[in-house]
Amino acid sequence: MMRAAEAASFLAEHGYGAADYAPLPADASFRSYARLRGGPRPVLLMDAPPPQEDLRPFLAIAAHLRDAGLSAPDIIAADVTRGFCLVEDFGAATVAQLLDAGDDPAPHYLAATAALARLHAVPPPDGLPAWGIDRMTETAGATFLQWWWPATFGAAPTADVIAAFEGAMRAMLAPFQGTGFVHRDYFPANLMPLPNREAPLDVGILDFQDAAIGHPAYDLVSLTEDARRDVDPALRAACIARYLALRPDLDAGDFRAAMAACAAQRHLRVAALWVRLARRDGKPHYLVHGPRCWAQLGRALSHPATAPLRDFLDAHVPPSMRQNPLVLQDATA
């Protein structure tokens, strides 16, 4: 819920005191948004309450994306201390909403792929955190070991299990350390169609404040192996082919291997994230995506590059248990 008094003060300071605003659906973060009408121009109000949220990365990365020839929202006004920002309104429907309404997926995914190739071809800005072995291992363990494991087995993992998991994740990820910009959540819910702009500006990019330095394969996995929707395998293959055609500097075999490793990390982490959202945050509806994530993980584990993690799971988590924990199954009904 918007922090009403502080938001009203911020809006009045920037000419939107009399504007009508309509809250937008919330996601899994602390941020919230509202669409404003009746002010100097149509905008969105972002409420990013400190200390849980920090506006500074959002503002810096938005500038970087625009400098790279991509469409990030213009910043109309920002108050970093209070955690409010007025940003350009790209429109009412994300790519995800248009897909849900029946749009042909191919044009959206191929346009998003072209924008992603441009994003990755530009040197990243200074100061981004690392999305490499340490952080990827840590975040996967934070959901899989701390939430999925006790919900499934009824007890926390032993020290030996933790050490084996971390060793497997590190061994899998070690060959695929990148030094480029990674959005980390590049999927249809964070993309907006802008058909009146020339490619790659025809894709509005949102929710980039958690960007980091890592391997570009991670973002293409996020797009083409979406945790929240199914993507036709032929379209996924077309997106990968287009990306590689736009990035002739990359070795295709190495990139596909990196995609498999990144996919295994992401799908395991996110499959377990739904458990955390259900148990800690009271959001059991996210568990509906669990079966998809586990299936995607299974496909990733078929690639030789994921052998260390596959061996760990084969030793500790039988295939019959690779699912939402049974204690939470009713929540998905």
180 touches 120 (CB < 8 A): yes
Averaged pLDDT for residues 89-108: 96
Domain that holds residue 157: 95-332
Total domains in the chain come to 2
Query: Are 186 and 314 part of one and the same domain?
Result: yes
Predicted pLDDT of residue 200: 97
Distance CA 185, CA 158 (A): 31
Q: Is the per-residue pLDDT at 332 higher than 70?
A: no
Same domain? For 78 and 135 the reply is no
Regarding whether 292 and 161 lie in a shared domain, the answer is yes
Sequence-ordered alpha helix ranges (H) in 14-104: 55-67, 95-100
For the segment 75-88, what is each residue's pLDDT rounded down to a tens digit? 999 999 999 999 99
> Do 49 and 167 share a domain, yes or no?
no
Share of the chain above pLDDT 70, in %: 98
* Residue 1 banded pLDDT, cuts 50, 70, 90: very low
Residue at a domain's end among 88, 105, 127 = 88
Which CATH number do you get for residue 182? Answer: 3.90.1200.10
Instruction: Note whether 150 and 133 are same-domain residues.
Output: yes
Same domain, 78 and 164: no
- Domain limit, last residue, from 88, 113, 131: 88
Report whether pLDDT(265) > 80.
Answer: yes
Q: Which residue has the higher pLDDT, 133 or 41?
A: 133
pLDDT digits (tens, 9 = 90+) for 116-155: 999 999 999 999 999 999 999 999 999 999 999 999 999 9
Q: Please give the Cα distance from 65 to 300 (Å, whole number).
A: 30
Distance CA 246, CA 182 (A): 17
Same-domain status, 255 and 323 = yes
Mean pLDDT of 296-318: 98
**Buried/exposed code over 220-233 (b: 16+ C-beta within 10 A; e: otherwise):** bbbbbbbbeeebee
On whether both 147 and 52 belong to a single domain, the answer is: no
- Please list, in sequence order, all residues whose beta carbon lies within 8 angstroms of the beta carbon of residue 232, skipping any fewer than 6 positions away: 105
Of the residues 59, 88, 117, the one at which a domain ends: 88
- Output the domain CATH number for residue 41: 3.30.200.20
62 and 202: one domain? no
200 prior amide bond cis, ω within 30? yes
Q: Are residues 185 and 127 in the same domain?
A: yes
Q: For the chain, first and last CA: distance in Å?
A: 28
Q: 224 and 83 in one domain? A: no
CB half-sphere exposure, 160, CA atoms < 13 A: 2
